[in-house]
Structure 1
């Protein structure tokens, strides 16, 4: 056996065609395969390859392009037209080499049952006693979920028994046709992957729920009680990679296996209820509460969420590349962070610090207003907590009594951390001033709870630090204007300087942790401009960055074409004029037109200069004189205006 035959296949050996690379599934598959080193082609907004639906079978170049790939990947979870055209094309094409055809199809093709109408469930609830305490109700819900076993999970061996859901009959027919083609064409290998709820990478089905919760338009996650097979959308790329590099072995001794097509279910080990999934996401994005599902979304999406369909999946095994190996519930925080990252919604957490008297509270307020962030004042929070009824208020009052009424760092940390964990701070971020102005205090606050620090949504650590600086003399001068207690101020300033001496300064703390920071002069007139430039634009729900980039690229293309058309028109005009000159025709008209253009250009420039001169040198004094005349109302206003202008002239000369 030759060395080439012994050599294991590498990703770069394979060329893969991914249909509609801009779609939710297509973009995820492309991203994973490209990262692993596969050669990926496809069609989309920024791709040159022809869309499969526009493919001309008589065009040999187009046909050659498509059939030169090792694998063709199509997705039927959102639309079926492309797959239908692809099957027609393959059925009529001549295959000169072996080609793998992979189709992602909704797991609803395996059937499942829709749960009862929410109204029936509501009537059932009304018959139950309402005087249960809240804790008992929550416990009852947990017990109910534990006791309720999922529908008997479907598996790949049940393929011949399946009856499709009414929403996916077209996908079911296309699956059967693809499998039939695989039997008829020797060089065509067909693999179908059944998928349930796809999640991650900014979401698809769950996107409207995530968005509404982030924007505060929804307070509870809408859920059903159905068990759902879930998989992170990036794992579809993992499945394709495994299919090419580690193809499953066929059991030649099992006669039943020969009858079954290459159909694999992709899903996680557990099939939780959508209610449990909703609770997990609600805890990260909102308040942890859920409600009955009654949303107006596409029928196919509604069917996936409302259909009881648990499934067993073994194809992916224990691959190290699997994203969210712990499952959708345990990975809820990571999934939400993917959503925030996709739409530029990463919480902006800003800490503003500086020496006493540097004005950091005022700067922090302005940052809060500009960036639309909750402003956190630790001292105000302590005051509010001491008046609060309940366990937390009792705890803070007890700590104050132990400390003889003084507010120490432990109390400030406790109330501030609690505020940072609130819904608005988790989703949008926060702006806080003077919270950690020394190395020791920063360590006490931000190194607290190291086991949580690895969490992608850890609330306590700032993303940006603004440090205000000023000389002691400048600070003392500003303080003297605003307060008479100069001795207390000088004492606080000395304490701050001493705490930030040598290497043990607060700046080193943030530098060591790679937290973005900026140092700006406290009283410089342009310091806010520098700070806002450092922080960037306010975060709000917008389109994904790739869509914006594509739109910018399209606008640049249109502008380029426009300039090319204008340049061509100008060139044609010059050629026409030269021809007219050579022929001695319309010489006078052309000369007059050019002279008029030059005159208009000259007059326009002069007019602009005169306008600027009037605005800068004349009108401001005339207007000031008119205002003064209106105030004084003299008998001779013209004379009074002249006197004002003469006086203004003398003042300016001196």
Structure 2
């Protein structure tokens, strides 16, 4: 048994503080330094912790760090400790303890028999190096290797893919890669921190320890538990090779999730005093782990109740809120239809309770001309609010409850403990009360297209009855708004006075300012890259389309010009022919006149001129024609 000594405050260095595990092992400010700057910082620390469970690129730096510190032992101002937080993947290919009894677990007492997964050879080499460096002078420089199980808790690290997939609800069944029967050694991150703290304070004799909880959960057990609390509760087994097609999982994480290893930390039980948070493992503590996950990642539901008279615009506003915040819209008609559809599916699986509720809903609808009895309506809405999607992302309750009594039934349980539970899970965080004058609402309905009037049951008589009933329900002291005020939930009152788009945008902006920032996942790195590629491709597509349209326009213009030119040339030729024909017709009489009266005398004159060849032929021809004029005027 170790002697208890007085422990002075120690300066602790831990690498890679921005990663998940290191951040929760110790919260120490750390900036990336080159090795010449880093070594003096390490020399100033009493304890140096290197975590290599998440990023393989840290192995080489840790190898350098322990070697550099070992070489500087002569310059130590006091004892130092080096703790390597490694991974149980260095045990992944270890031969069974007893070939005849494959059920026997491995223990850290036989760490020298361990054999690493092929992709974790560097890790086991580093473990051996750390152990060796600590054997020179343990009083001055002690080293420890803590082989950690797969870590969960807070941000969930290697299991985050399953938590995220379940929380988002986009896949009805959560994948389990492989047969799911592989035993996965795990440990909560706080328990790992407690192990490391114990090593620092107690300095146990063994220098190699396995840090795992006492669960024997299979991968299927873990995924089922996560899916049940966060998702639809269903899993789907896929070939292990398909895991490598999953963008959210690294090769290192996939190898870890496929490991089949039952290992126990004997030294944790015998030598350390761990204040366990999740000693029995992830599955037994799934509710606690899920709540940590939600709180740590800020994935808290936004619960909104939207109230107001008919035609005030609740549906439009609720849809825009849901689109912006990625919430679930709960409208009575759609919720009832969805519930009946789900019950029909469950009934096919022979669920007696589902069949009973389905019959009750159908009977109530038949007896009340399409409406549900209030107690059934409240049950349907409450079940919807308690569904995992609504508990994950949140909801917008559109136009319900309508009265004080309905609100009491919806948000309260039959007992005091149930009331507290329902209040914490489904009570709206924000209440928005839209309102407008009766004249404005009537005018808005009158301007609606007939199809929308039919869709929303806004026929004149029915609409006026609904409006009158709403006003009557909200003039007494016990109104729906008063119910929330009694619970210290202050409604936000919003007056609608215009249908103009700028006014509607201002209204939405006021609502968004009240609700705050979205509380969900942003885009992952690969989603951002895909979005960038999509936008680039869209830009290229639009540019190509514009070029094609421009080329097509130019071709059409060229064809049009060619057609116009041909038409113009054809018209010009026709005009020329017409002019020639007209000229020919007009010149025929002149030609005949010349041939009959002029050309005979002129021809004789020309012949005579050629015969005589006078010095002045023109004067000769004129004199000849004058003397030989056949016509005597």
**TM norm structure 2:** 0.64
Alpha-carbon contact 1:155-1:312 (below 8 Å) kept? yes
Aligned to 2:612: none
Q: 1:42 to 1:452 in 2, by over 3 A?
A: farther
- In structure 2, what is the Cα distance between the partners aligned to 1:76 and 1:355? 60
Q: 1:385 to 1:288 in 2, by over 3 A?
A: closer
Are 1:157 and 2:134 an aligned pair? no
Which residues in structure 2 correspond to 1:53-452 (within 5 Å)? 54-56=34-36, 63-77=39-53, 78-79=55-56, 80-93=59-72, 94-112=75-93, 151-185=103-137, 186-213=139-166, 214=168, 216=170, 219-223=173-177, 224-245=180-201, 247=202, 261-283=206-228, 284-292=230-238, 293-294=240-241, 295-296=243-244, 297-313=249-265, 322-325=276-279, 327-341=281-295, 344-354=298-308, 358-382=312-336, 385=339, 389=344, 390=347, 391=355, 392-398=357-363, 407-420=372-385, 424-448=389-413
- In structure 2, what is the Cα distance between the partners aligned to 1:484 and 1:523? 23
Answer with 1 or 2: which has the greater Rg.
2
Residue 314 (structure 1) shift: 5.8
Q: 1:418 to 1:150 in 2, by over 3 A?
A: farther
Residue 403 (structure 1) shift: 7.5
- In structure 2, what is the Cα distance between the partners aligned to 1:227 and 1:6? 37
SS of the residue aligned with 1:498?
Answer: coil
- In structure 2, what is the Cα distance between the partners aligned to 1:87 and 1:68? 14
- In structure 2, what is the Cα distance between the partners aligned to 1:386 and 1:63? 67
Residue 368 (structure 1) shift: 2.7
SS of the residue aligned with 1:180?
Answer: helix
- In structure 2, what is the Cα distance between the partners aligned to 1:455 and 1:161? 51
- In structure 2, what is the Cα distance between the partners aligned to 1:7 and 1:189? 17
Q: 1:316 to 1:402 in 2, by over 3 A?
A: farther
Alpha-carbon contact 2:12-2:45 (below 8 Å) kept? yes
Are 1:494 and 2:440 an aligned pair? no
Aligned to 1:43: 31
- In structure 2, what is the Cα distance between the partners aligned to 1:265 and 1:394? 56
Residue 338 (structure 1) shift: 4.5
Alpha-carbon contact 1:277-1:328 (below 8 Å) kept? yes
Aligned to 2:434: 468
- In structure 2, what is the Cα distance between the partners aligned to 1:352 and 1:324? 40
Aligned to 2:521: 541
Residue 19 (structure 1) shift: 0.9
Alpha-carbon contact 1:280-1:288 (below 8 Å) kept? no
- In structure 2, what is the Cα distance between the partners aligned to 1:453 and 1:322? 32
Q: What is the number of equivalent residue pairs in this alignment?
A: 469
- In structure 1, what is the Cα distance between the partners aligned to 2:490 and 2:157? 32
SS of the residue aligned with 2:158?
Answer: coil
Alpha-carbon contact 2:172-2:234 (below 8 Å) kept? no
Q: 1:279 to 1:454 in 2, by over 3 A?
A: farther
State the Cα deviation string for residues 259-291 of structure 1 (Å, max 9, x = none).
xx3222212221200111011112223442231
Q: 1:378 to 1:269 in 2, by over 3 A?
A: same
Alpha-carbon contact 1:357-1:475 (below 8 Å) kept? no
Among candidates 484, 490, 512, match of residue 507 of structure 1: 484
- In structure 2, what is the Cα distance between the partners aligned to 1:181 and 1:385? 65
State the Cα deviation string for residues 150-175 of structure 1 (Å, max 9, x = none).
84222222224333333323222221
Q: 1:177 to 1:382 in 2, by over 3 A?
A: closer
- In structure 1, what is the Cα distance between the partners aligned to 2:403 and 2:6? 57
Alpha-carbon contact 2:335-2:380 (below 8 Å) kept? yes
Aligned to 2:580: none
Task: Return 264-273 or 219-228, whichever deviates more.
Answer: 219-228
- In structure 2, what is the Cα distance between the partners aligned to 1:395 and 1:18? 62
Among candidates 11, 18, 25, match of residue 21 of structure 2: 25
Please tell me the root mean square deviation across aligned C-alpha atoms, in Å. Answer: 4.0
- In structure 1, what is the Cα distance between the partners aligned to 2:491 and 2:278? 32
SS of the residue aligned with 1:435?
Answer: coil
Residue 458 (structure 1) shift: 7.4
- In structure 2, what is the Cα distance between the partners aligned to 1:150 and 1:343? 40
Alpha-carbon contact 1:19-1:43 (below 8 Å) kept? no
Q: 1:238 to 1:384 in 2, by over 3 A?
A: closer
Q: 1:262 to 1:227 in 2, by over 3 A?
A: same
Alpha-carbon contact 1:229-1:267 (below 8 Å) kept? yes
- In structure 1, what is the Cα distance between the partners aligned to 2:6 and 2:439? 74
**TM norm structure 1:** 0.62
- In structure 2, what is the Cα distance between the partners aligned to 1:443 and 1:433? 17
Return 5+ residue gaps in structure 1 as ranges: 32-39, 45-49, 116-148, 251-260, 549-654
Q: 1:76 to 1:63 in 2, by over 3 A?
A: closer
Residue 400 (structure 1) shift: 5.1
Residue 196 (structure 1) shift: 1.9
- In structure 1, what is the Cα distance between the partners aligned to 2:22 and 2:490? 35
Aligned to 1:599: none
